């Protein structure tokens, strides 16, 4: 192989990595050895060989195709502009909008980066007395000042999350009903082949996957920030897969940005990814999109679904009814968290909630810290079916 081709090949690998594809040196070596078997002159063969070796995610195929086109078929001079467009598209070409600020939040200081901003929070945590905390536990998230909500976020980080486990089909030695012939025979050999004890196997337990679908539309605006903290906290605390989505007019998956250790950075990335903060509400449409695109991949294995919304739906109510029914058929539990349920005089009369209610297993408030603690208890008590 010519040195020039090798050089270009490695450069192409670097470009793909830059676009976020999982291309490692091992794969590049494989591609180089694959070139021994194919006709390099044949563009189609080369294209498909590179594609089968360098991409292993369906979502990346389209990006690869465009990058290949740009890299190998256009003269180098004309790349620049188009190239920028491609890499921008990978992240998001939408204007960056941050989650809505709290009403009385002071304007952020210029160099108020992560390490600095944590300091005052800790101070609050330490100096607050027991009774202050009690008041805070029952105060509605929507009525909190920025300082209070910081304190609550801090307290929320200490909540214990545990979701009851589910019986899997995998078995392990124990007290179940299945005979464990392997162990029975092994034990009998010690007694010269006479069976004195029968050994059994029991199902292994595993934590249930969790899917959180949160409403970030205009009517939920006052709760959005604190709920994102809550979702982040849950994802960090639980060992099982936790998938998170937000919606107002359309559904966005935010699982990946939430994986980052640094909470502030994670929330900032979520802010950049989502482009319909505080928009209208289309719960039915969003759930439908979830059912079609993600449901099959995420709802197996007895998943628990948390929907967080006030149920002010401006979309098609029949659609919401149908999609809730579909969601219900495919998961273990649907828990609907509604911040309005905290108000004494609230009655679930909106059309959206009316359509959804028959399909919900638990309808719970989510307006203050005490309600979250209650949720934590419920999750730990789900049955093992």
Partner 1 sequence: MRRVQEFCNFYKEAALEFTSIDSLQSALRERNYIAEHGLATSLYLTLKLNRPLFLEGEAGVGKTEVAKVIASLLGTDLIRLQCYEGLDVHHAVYEWNYTRQMMHIRFLEASGEKANEAELFGPEFLLRRPLLQAIEQSKVKPPVLLIDELDRSDEEFEAFLLEILSDFQITIPEIGTITTPNPPVVVITSNRTREVHDALKRRCLYYWIDYPSFEKEIEIVQARLPHAPEKLARQVTSFIQKLREMDLYKLPGVAETLDWTTALVALDQKALDPVIVDETLGAVLKYQDDVEKIKGEQTRVILDRIKAETA
User: Which CB atom, from 1 or from 189, has the smaller least distance to partner 1?
Assistant: 189
DSSP assignment of 172-204 equals EEESSSEE-HHHHHHHHHHTTT------EEEEE
- In whole angstroms, the minimum distance from the beta carbon of 212 to partner 1 comes to 17
CB under 8 A: which stretch of 27-35, 121-129, 339-347, 364-372 binds partner 1?
27-35
Please identify, among the stretches 48-56, 88-96, 151-159, 341-349, the one whose residues bind partner 1 according to the rule CB under 8 A.
48-56
H/E run at residue 133? helix 130-138
Residue 3 found at the interface with partner 1 (CB under 8 A): no
Site for partner 1 in 288-347 (CB under 8 A): 291-292, 296-297, 300-301, 322, 326
What does residue 242 show for φ and ψ, rounded to 5 degrees? -120, 120
127 binds partner 1 (CB under 8 A): no
Residue 194 in contact with residue 184, Cβ under 8 Å?
no
Between 123 and 191, CB nearer to partner 1: 191
39, 1 contact by CB (below 8 A) = no
The least distance separating partner 1 from the CB of residue 192, rounded to whole angstroms, comes to 7
The only residue of 51, 250, 268, 328 in contact with partner 1, by rule CB under 8 A: 51
Nearer to partner 1, 11 or 29 (CB): 29
CA angle 352, 258, 335 (to 5 degrees): 30
Q: Which helix (DSSP H) or strand (DSSP E) does residue 168 occupy?
A: strand 165-174
Contacts of 11 (CB under 8 A, 6+ apart): none
**C-alpha–C-alpha distance, residues 220 and 141, integer Å:** 11
Does residue 41 belong to the site contacting partner 1 (CB under 8 A)? no
User: Which residues neighbour 219 within 8 Å (Cβ) at sequence distance 6 or greater?
Assistant: 281, 310, 312
Q: Which of 104, 72, 367, 358 is nearest to 230 (CA)?
A: 367
Identify the DSSP state of 242. Answer: E
| Minimum gap (Å) between residue 207 Cβ and partner 1 | 12
CB distance 98 to 268 below 8 Å: yes
The stretch among 11-19, 53-61, 112-120, 157-165 that binds partner 1 (CB under 8 A) is: 53-61
DSSP H or E segment with residue 207: strand 200-207
Can you tell me which of 15, 16, 28, 55 binds partner 1, judged by CB under 8 A?
55
* Nearest residue (CB) to partner 1, 35 versus 212: 35
Among 92, 117, 168, 239, binds partner 1 (CB under 8 A): 168
The nearer residue to partner 1, 72 or 292, going by C-beta atoms, is 292
Nearest to 379 by CA among 115, 201, 118, 161: 161
Q: How far is the CB of 189 from partner 1 (least distance, A)?
A: 6
The answer to whether 223 touches 156, Cβ cutoff 8 Å, is no
The torsion angles phi and psi of 366, rounded to 5 degrees, stand at -145, 55
Whole-angstrom distance, CA of residue 70 vs CA of residue 86: 10
Helix-strand-coil split of the chain, %, nearest 5: 55, 15, 35
Size of the site for partner 1 (CB under 8 A): 43
Q: How far is the CB of 215 from partner 1 (least distance, A)?
A: 23
CB of 54 to partner 1, least distance (A): 9
- Is residue 202 close enough to count as binding partner 1 by CB under 8 A? no
Choose the stretch contacting partner 1; rule: CB under 8 A; options: 2-10, 157-165, 189-197, 226-234: 189-197
Those residues whose C-beta lies under 8 Å from the C-beta of residue 53, and which sit 6 or more positions away, are 27, 30, 31, 34
Residue 262 found at the interface with partner 1 (CB under 8 A): no
Taking CB under 8 A as the criterion, the residue among 30, 66, 105, 272 binding partner 1 is: 30
Near partner 1 in 7-26, by CB under 8 A? 22, 24, 26
Between 24 and 145, CB nearer to partner 1 = 24
Q: Is 187 in the site for partner 1 (CB under 8 A)?
A: no
Our CB check for partner 1 shows the closer of 83 and 294 to be: 294
Binding site for partner 1 (CB under 8 A): 22, 24, 26-27, 30, 33-34, 37-39, 44-45, 48-49, 51-53, 55-58, 61, 168-171, 181-182, 184-185, 188-189, 192-193, 195, 291-292, 296-297, 300-301, 322, 326
């Amino acid at each position: 192989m010519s040195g020039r081709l090798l050089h270009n090949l490695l450069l192409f690998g670097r470009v793909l990595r830059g676009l976020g594809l999982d291309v490692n040196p091992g794969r590049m070596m494989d591609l180089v050895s694959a070139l021994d078997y194919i006709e390099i002159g044949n563009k189609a063969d080369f294209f498909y060989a590179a594609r089968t070796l360098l991409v292993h995610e369906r979502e990346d195929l389209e990006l690869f195709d465009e990058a290949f086109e740009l890299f190998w078929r256009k003269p180098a001079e004309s790349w620049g502009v188009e190239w920028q467009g491609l890499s921008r598209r990978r992240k998001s070409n939408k204007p960056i909008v941050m989650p809505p600020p709290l009403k009385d939040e002071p304007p952020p200081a210029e160099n108020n980066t992560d390490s600095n901003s944590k300091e005052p929070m800790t101070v609050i945590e330490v100096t607050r007395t027991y009774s202050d905390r009690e008041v805070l536990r029952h105060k509605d998230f929507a009525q909190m000042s920025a300082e209070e909500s910081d304190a609550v976020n801090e307290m929320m980080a200490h909540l214990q999350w545990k979701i009851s486990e589910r019986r899997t089909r995998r078995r392990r030695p124990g007290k179940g009903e299945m005979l464990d012939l392997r162990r029975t025979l092994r034990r009998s050999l010690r007694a010269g082949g006479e069976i004195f004890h029968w050994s059994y196997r029991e199902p292994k337990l595993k934590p249930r996957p969790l899917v959180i679908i949160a409403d970030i539309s205009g009517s939920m605006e006052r709760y959005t920030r604190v709920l994102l903290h809550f979702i982040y906290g849950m994802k960090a605390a639980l060992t099982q897969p936790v998938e998170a989505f937000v919606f107002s007019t359309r559904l966005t998956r935010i699982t990946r940005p939430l994986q980052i250790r640094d909470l502030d950075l994670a929330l900032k990335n979520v802010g950049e990814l989502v482009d319909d903060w505080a928009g209208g509400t289309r719960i039915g449409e969003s759930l439908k999109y979830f059912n079609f695109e993600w449901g099959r991949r995420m709802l197996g294995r007895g998943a628990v679904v948390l929907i967080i919304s006030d149920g002010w739906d401006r979309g098609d109510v029949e659609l919401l009814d149908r999609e809730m029914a579909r969601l219900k058929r495919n998961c273990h539990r649907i828990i609907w968290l509604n911040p309005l349920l905290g108000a004494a005089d609230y009655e679930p009369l909106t059309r959206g909630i009316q359509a959804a209610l028959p399909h919900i297993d638990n309808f719970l408030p989510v307006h203050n810290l005490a309600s979250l603690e209650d949720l934590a208890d419920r999750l730990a008590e789900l049955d093992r079916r």
